[in-house]
């Protein structure tokens, strides 16, 4: 069925119902050593791997339809930074000062599609950027919350813990990620950054209830439902 042009710019709601219009969603891979190892990579090697999702892939709906063309949908709980300022060639302190809000996000991944892309040397775009691939909680102002090394990040499926770490386990802290990204592209207000996931990624099926938490931030809860017709 054709869709009509009823598009409007996406926005994320904050804990006080404030709206944050999204320009672009940047993401980083392998930013926690244990997760890098579980994906078969050397955590000490190289620089951050950046990729993107369309801004329209971010959703605050309570349900996420199981995506097409995959038999291996994976959850990745992540801290997401919302940028109120941008720039180029920033240092880590300037990068961190661009952040106006923080939220819990989930980088949903079609892992089988990604594995085939990696093997063939192809892009990850459709493994990571499908419809509703970025469920998001409400965001908190950076005036009220900042990440600490001891802040817990975790995800449970149907009440069973899957991922558990602290933000201090990140290989590259958020300011450093923003700084490095700003040496590759110009960052703008409305950009968001998914900062990577800890170990324990795993499959999701229709009917699964996902609870993603970062201490002090609004909760992210969603359910995987059957695809729409």
Residues at the contact surface with Mn ion, assessed by CB under 5 A: 76, 107, 197
CB of 107 to Mn ion, least distance (A): 3
CB of 9 to Mn ion, least distance (A): 24
Question: Token pair for residue 26?
Answer: 């940047």
CB of 61 to Mn ion, least distance (A): 20
- Of 32 and 139, which has the nearer Cβ to Mn ion? 32
Q: For 55-93, what is the HEC assignment?
A: HHHEECCCEEECCCCCCCEEECEEEEEEECCCECCCCHH
Query: CB–CB of 51/6 below 8 Å?
Result: no
DSSP 166-196: EGGGBSS-HHHHHHHHHTTS-B-TTEEEE--
- Of 92 and 199, which has the nearer Cβ to Mn ion? 199
The distance from CA 4 to its chain's CA centroid, rounded to whole angstroms, is 28
Distance CA 171, CA 28 (A): 11
- Of 10 and 196, which has the nearer Cβ to Mn ion? 196
CB of 2 to Mn ion, least distance (A): 32
CB of 17 to Mn ion, least distance (A): 28
* Angle at 81 (CA atoms; ends 77, 86), nearest 5 degrees: 150
- Of 29 and 190, which has the nearer Cβ to Mn ion? 29
CB of 28 to Mn ion, least distance (A): 7
Residue nearest to Mn ion (CB): 107
Distance CA 222, CA 136 (A): 9
- Of 76 and 176, which has the nearer Cβ to Mn ion? 76
- Of 169 and 189, which has the nearer Cβ to Mn ion? 169
Q: Residues near 160 by Cβ (< 8 Å), separated by ≥ 6?
A: none
């Amino acid at each position: 069925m054709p869709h009509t042009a009823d598009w409007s710019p996406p926005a994320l709601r904050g804990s006080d119902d404030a709206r944050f219009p999204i320009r672009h969603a940047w993401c980083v891979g392998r930013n926690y050593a244990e997760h890098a190892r579980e994906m078969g990579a050397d955590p000490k090697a190289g620089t951050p791997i950046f990729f993107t999702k369309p801004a329209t892939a971010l959703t605050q709906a309570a349900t996420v339809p199981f995506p097409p063309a995959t038999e291996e949908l994976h959850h990745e709980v992540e801290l997401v930074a919302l940028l109120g300022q941008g720039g180029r060639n920033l240092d880590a302190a300037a990068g961190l000062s661009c952040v106006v809000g923080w939220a819990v996000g989930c980088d949903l991944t079609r892992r089988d599609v990604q594995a085939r892309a990696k093997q063939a040397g192809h892009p990850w775009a459709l493994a990571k950027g499908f419809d509703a691939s970025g469920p998001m909680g409400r965001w908190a102002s950076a005036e009220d919350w900042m990440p600490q090394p001891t802040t817990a990040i975790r995800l449970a499926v149907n009440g069973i813990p899957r991922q558990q770490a602290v933000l201090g386990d990140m290989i590259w802290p958020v300011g450093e990620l923003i700084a490095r990204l700003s040496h590759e592209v110009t960052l703008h207000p409305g950009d968001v950054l998914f900062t990577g996931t800890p170990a324990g990624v795993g499959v999701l099926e229709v009917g699964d209830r996902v609870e993603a938490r970062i201490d002090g931030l609004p909760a992210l809860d969603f359910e995987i439902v059957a695809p729409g017709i």
